[in-house]
Amino acid sequence: MENLAIHICHQIFNGKKAEEGKYRSIDLIFERDNKLYIVGIKSGPNWGNSDQVNTMKRNFKLAKRDIRINADGKPIIAVNGCMYGKDNKPHKVSKDPALAIIKFVVKNFGS
């Protein structure tokens, strides 16, 4: 499913598979509406326990720091992209804004 998501994003937004091993937890990088999106693709909304989710958020924070150098001032949006399911509160806030993510699940894509 991950390869399908990357292929579709490449066709629509010229998205690219993240370099293997360069950024942990990130599978896809693309630009849309003058924003840079970094995406971790997961099977469903309940894919991991709190430690695993927190690790993903920390990995996103580190990747944002590295990517920001070449992002030309564009905002970088971290996304936990899920292939199925539903989440009624997709914006996951944090006391540390760099750890905030957006959780998109296929059900929410049309919203």
As a whole number, the mean pLDDT across the chain is 84
Q: Are 25 and 59 in contact (CB under 8 A)?
A: yes
Beta strands of 16-100 (E only): which ranges? Answer: 16-17, 28-32, 35-42, 76-82, 91-92
CATH for 97: 3.40.1560
Alpha carbon distance, N-terminus to C-terminus of the chain: 21
Q: What is the rounded CA–CA span in Å between residue 66 and residue 93?
A: 21
* Counted domains in the chain: 1
27-48 pLDDT per residue, tens:
999 999 999 999 999 888 888 8
pLDDT of the residue at 109 = 43
Least confident stretch, 6-15, 37-46, 85-94:
85-94
Structural domain boundaries enclosing 56: 2-109
Q: Which residues contact 13 (CB under 8 A, 6 or more apart)?
A: 30, 31, 32
**What is the total residue count of the chain?**
111
56-70 pLDDT per residue, tens:
999 999 999 888 887
pTM of the model: 0.82
